[in-house]
Structure 1
Amino acid sequence: MIVLLVLLILKRGTVSASWSVTFDDPNPCAVKGSSVEFRCSYDYPDGEIVRKTFWSKGQSESGQWTRVKLEDLPSHQNRSKYLGDLQHNCSLAIHDLQVNDTGHYYFWFDTQKYGRHSRENVYLSVTEPSARVYPGTVRVGDTVTLECTTSCQFASTVWFKDRRLIANPKFQAQVEDSGNYACAVKGQESVLSDPVALEVQYPPLNVSVEASSLGRLSVNSSVTLTCNSAANPAADNYTWYSSAVSGVGSMLQVGSGQVLYIPSMEAQHAGLYICQARNRLGDKNSTEVLLTVDETNVKRLILLVGIGAKVTIVLLLTLVIIWAW
C-alpha cells in the first residue's frame, strides 16, 4: 500500500512537472531607451507538438484584468521580437524601452491538444535616471555633491558635464564647474537623465582696462578707458583711481562707472590709472594703465605764441614810429 502511494505521488509530480514555463529573471529592471531580454524556457508532455506561441501583457480594461497579445499592442510594434522557437525556448526581447512598458508579461503556447499560459509572469520595471546637484548655487570653494537615482538597483552610475565624462561626483567648486550635469547607468551611457544646472558664483576676476588710445596722447585729444572683468554675479560697481590728481604717486578717486571719459587731455591728466570692479562677493583692482601727454606740442605752442607776440610788438612799434615821423 505504501509503495503504491509513493508511486502515485511520483507519477503526479512527473505529470505536473511536464507542463512548465520558467523565467531566468522574473523581475527585470531596465533603463528607458535600452533593451531587455526575458530569458525563458518551457516544457510539455512527450508526444505533444507545439503549434503556436505568443507573449501577452497584462492590463486592466474596464476594471477587469486581461492579457493582450503584444502583436496587438500598437506601442509594441517593431519593438518586441520573439527569440524562442517551437521546442523549449520562449525568450523575448523588447527594444527602445519606454516607461509605459512597465508591467506583467505572460507566455502562452498551444499544442495539438491544449493551450497553456504561464501561471507566473515576468514583471518588467522601466526607469529613468534622475540627476540632482546640490546645492544648485555655490561659491568658489564650496562642496558640490552630484546624486543620481533610479527606481532600480544598478551597480553604478556615471556623470557628464556638458556631455563630457567627469570622474568625481563630489568636488570643491571652481569657476569652470558652472554648467549642465546629467547622469547615466554605467554600461548604458547613451541614455542620459535630464540635465540639471550648477551655478558657481565668484568675485571679479581678470580685471583689465581697455584704452581707446595708448602711447603719447596729444594735448586736447580725448581718451576713453573701459573696465572689464569676469564675475558672477556680474560686477555692478566700478571705481577709477589715478596718480595724476595727487602728483605724488598716491592714487585718488577720479571717477565711477564702467567707462571713464577724458574729453580733453592736458598735462595734468598724465599718470597711472586703475579700475576697481566690485560685486556682492568682493572686489579686485585692474593692472595699471599709464597715460602720457606729448609735451613737445605744448612747448611748441608756447614758443609759437611767444614768437607771435614779439612779431606783433615789433609791428606795432614800427607803425607808431612811422605815424610819429
Structure 2
Amino acid sequence: LRGSSVAFRCSYSYREGETVRETAWSKGHIKQHNWKRVELSDLASYENRSVYLGDRQHNCSLAIHDVQGNDSGYYYFRFDTDTYGWRSRAGESVHLSVTELSARVHPERVRAGDDVTLECGTSCYRPPGTVWFKDGRPVANLTFQAQPGDSGNYSCAIEGQESDPSDPVALDVQYAPLNMSIEVSQPGDVAEGSSVNPTCSAVANPAADNYTWYGASVSSSSSSAMLWVGSGQVLTLPPGKASHAGLYLCQARNSVGENSREALLTGYHTDSEYMYHRLSQNVQCLPGVFQEQCHDYENTMNMKNINNHLFPGHLNNLASCDHNTCVSKGESNEYSSMIAVQ
C-alpha cells in the first residue's frame, strides 16, 4: 500500500568455511531503453527509505519505508564470498506490487434522505484502521442518511498516515428547492406608477429550472382563489396600482421536487397619493415563529391570519405579534403597506 512499509523476509546459505564479504539488493530497472539490475544504493529514490535488515551470516531481509508507486517491480539479492559470488535468478526474485488506497462512496449520487456508505480499501484488502475526511475535515460516521450539506469530496487514509490520503471521490446530494426568499426590486417607499418586481430565489441541487407565480387580490380571503400570474424568477408587475395588493406565491421546482414561498403586498395611500412600502422581514407575524418584537403601527392592515398563513383580509391597526396570532387595536382611515415574507 502506498505510504506504508514493507519487509522482504529472506535467508541465504553458502559453503561451510566461506566468509561473506558483501551483500546487496538491486531492482530491475529500465535505463536508456535497456533493462538491467540497479543496486538500491545507486538509486536516489531509495535513499533513507531502504534498510538492510540482514547480516553476513544467513539473514538477507530488506525493508522499504514510505512505499511509492514507482517502487513496484522485481527485486534481487546477491552476496559475495572470498571465492565466489551468487546472484538470484528470475525465479528467485521478489515482486512488489504497490496499490493505491481507494475511497468509495456508495452511491455517488443520491437524493436527500437516501443511505450512503463510505468504504476505504485497496484492490488487495481493506485496511483495518482508516479515517475519513470531507473537504479536509474529519468524518465520524461511515453510514448516514444524506443531507444537502453532505455534498463534497471524500477521502480516506490509514490511521496514523493522515498526511497521505487517498484521491478524493465526490458525493452529489440532490434535493428539492430550499431556503426560498422573495426580494423586491426597490426597497423603501415607491410612488404610484413605479414598478415593483418581486424576485424569487432558492437553493437547490440541481438548480431550480422552473419558477411559477400565483396571486390573490386583497378582496380574496382564501388561498383557493390564487391564480397564475407569471413565470420566471422575476415577476414583472405593471406600474404600481392599488389592485396589485394581495398575496403572491412563488413556486420553485427542479427534478427532485418543489417548494414555495409567499409574500403579502398591501397598499399605502393618502387622499392625494398611493405608495408601496416595504418593511423589514424582522417585523412580521410568522405562524408558530416569532423572531423579533413587533413595532406599533397606527394604520389599518388589510391582512389576517388564516390556517397558519397570511392571507388578505381585514385587521385593524397591527400592534404586536405573539406566538401564532396577529393582534390589533385602534382605527384609522389610512392604509399601511407591507411586504411580509412568510
Q: Tell me if both proteins adopt one fold, taking TM over 0.5 as the criterion.
A: yes
Shift of 1:218: 2.8
Measure, in 1, the Cα distance between the counterparts of 2:80 and 2:266: 99
Instruction: Specify which of 101, 119, 130 is matched with residue 157 of structure 1.
Output: 130
Shift of 1:87: 6.5
Measure, in 2, the Cα distance between the counterparts of 1:178 and 1:258: 25
Instruction: Specify which of 282, 295, 315 is matched with residue 269 of structure 2.
Output: 295
Measure, in 2, the Cα distance between the counterparts of 1:246 and 1:196: 55
Shift of 1:117: 4.9
Instruction: Specify which of 145, 149, 161 is matched with residue 188 of structure 1.
Output: 161
Give the 3 Å change call, closer, same or farther, for CA 301–192 of structure 1 in structure 2.
Answer: closer
- Look up the match of 1:210: 183
Asked whether the 8 Å contact 2:192–2:273 carries over to 1, the reply is: no
- Look up the match of 2:105: 133
- 1:108 pairs with 2:81: no
Asked whether the 8 Å contact 2:29–2:35 carries over to 1, the reply is: yes
Instruction: Specify which of 27, 33, 42 is matched with residue 3 of structure 2.
Output: 33
Deviates more, 1:160-169 or 1:90-99: 90-99
Deviates more, 1:45-54 or 1:164-173: 45-54
TM-score (norm 2): 0.65
- Could you say what secondary structure the match of 2:41 adopts? helix
CA deviation map 1:225-265 (0-9, x unaligned): 11010111111111222332654454333222100133421
- Look up the match of 1:54: 24
- Look up the match of 1:166: 139
Shift of 1:97: 2.4
Identity %: 63
Q: Map 1:110-125 to 2 at 5 A.
A: 110-117=80-87, 121-125=93-97
- Look up the match of 1:317: none
Instruction: Specify which of 187, 190, 203 is matched with residue 230 of structure 1.
Output: 203
Shift of 1:283: 1.3
Unmatched segments (≥5 aa) in structure 1: 1-30, 303-325
- 1:252 pairs with 2:227: yes
Give the 3 Å change call, closer, same or farther, for CA 220–65 of structure 1 in structure 2.
Answer: closer
TM-score (norm 1): 0.68
Give the 3 Å change call, closer, same or farther, for CA 157–210 of structure 1 in structure 2.
Answer: same
- Look up the match of 1:285: 260
Shift of 1:269: 1.4
**Hey, which of these two has a bigger chunk of helix by percent?**
1
Amino acid at match of 2:266: T
Asked whether the 8 Å contact 1:246–1:252 carries over to 2, the reply is: no
Amino acid at match of 1:182: S
CA deviation map 1:47-77 (0-9, x unaligned): 754432211235799xx99744223456546
Instruction: Specify which of 240, 252, 258 is matched with residue 265 of structure 1.
Output: 240
CA deviation map 1:145-204 (0-9, x unaligned): 333331333334333222222233332211111111222333433322222211111111
Deviates more, 1:121-130 or 1:258-267: 121-130
Measure, in 2, the Cα distance between the counterparts of 1:192 and 1:233: 29
Measure, in 2, the Cα distance between the counterparts of 1:175 and 1:211: 27
Measure, in 2, the Cα distance between the counterparts of 1:248 and 1:47: 111
Shift of 1:110: 2.5
Asked whether the 8 Å contact 2:153–2:170 carries over to 1, the reply is: yes
Asked whether the 8 Å contact 1:140–1:201 carries over to 2, the reply is: yes
- Could you say what secondary structure the match of 2:272 adopts? helix
Shift of 1:107: 2.9
- Look up the match of 1:148: 120
RMSD, matched Cα:
3.4
Amino acid at match of 2:272: R
Asked whether the 8 Å contact 2:27–2:37 carries over to 1, the reply is: yes
Shift of 1:219: 1.8
Measure, in 1, the Cα distance between the counterparts of 2:219 and 2:109: 43
Give the 3 Å change call, closer, same or farther, for CA 226–47 of structure 1 in structure 2.
Answer: same
Measure, in 1, the Cα distance between the counterparts of 2:219 and 2:266: 15
Measure, in 2, the Cα distance between the counterparts of 1:38 and 1:190: 25
Amino acid at match of 2:246: G
